[in-house]
Amino acid sequence: MSLILRPEIRAADSAIITLAAAVTVAETLELDFNAPADIKWPNDILASGRKICGILVESAIENGKLQYAVMGIGVNVAQRSFPGHIADSATSLLLETGRLVEPEDFLTPLLDRLERWYTAATSAPDRLLARWEELSSYARDCAVRVESGDEAIEGVTRGLTPRGALIVELGDGSRREIVSGEVKLRRSVVRSQ
């Protein structure tokens, strides 16, 4: 599914749109289809530790203002299996629930929920960010490695900034705000101090 959105927000705040989509999908999976859902920053939805959905938001920016955003959401709904190279890392709604769901039956509650969270993203972002953190077991106290370009850092997640960046605390106690990059989980979990 692809949508063209025209939010009245600054370009610097545009990551919030991706987070709204992630909350929408995770809630739809859990509340409407009783499927486990977890969010890996910023836009991967996992079920049973495997990817069930990917989200991509491309934006057009002019004079520091977001002109429009094209949001694509791809949910694995009815796949019975996956090719060997992703068989261990991908799943579908059918595999998670044992129920065959028609795509339009998934789309209806998804669109209703997306309208609500998109509105929250532009009018009550704090509410959206809090809900994102509730739905993500990776938001806090999770050991991660973040790769962005030629740089890689390791640390522990400490939630989100008001703009939706991931906060990572490094070994020396300093904190970095991650606005882009590939987050890879390190399986040990660390408790907050």
139: left (phi over 0), alpha (psi -120 to 50) or beta: alpha
Which pLDDT tens digit goes with each residue over 42-76? 889 999 999 999 999 988 888 878 888 899 999 99
Give the chain's residues under pLDDT 70: 187-193
pLDDT at 105: 96
Contacts of 26 (CB under 8 A, 6+ apart): 37, 38, 39, 45, 135
pLDDT at 118: 92
Nearest Cα neighbor of 142 from 154, 132, 134 is 154
pLDDT at 2: 79
My answer on whether omega of the bond before 162 falls inside 30° of 0, hence cis, is no
Structure tokens at 114: 């997306």
pLDDT at 38: 96
CA angle 62, 176, 18 (to 5 degrees): 45
Half-sphere exposure of 178 (CA within 13 A, CB side): 30
- Structural domains in the chain plus CATH codes: 2-135 (3.30.930.10), 140-189 (2.30.30.100)
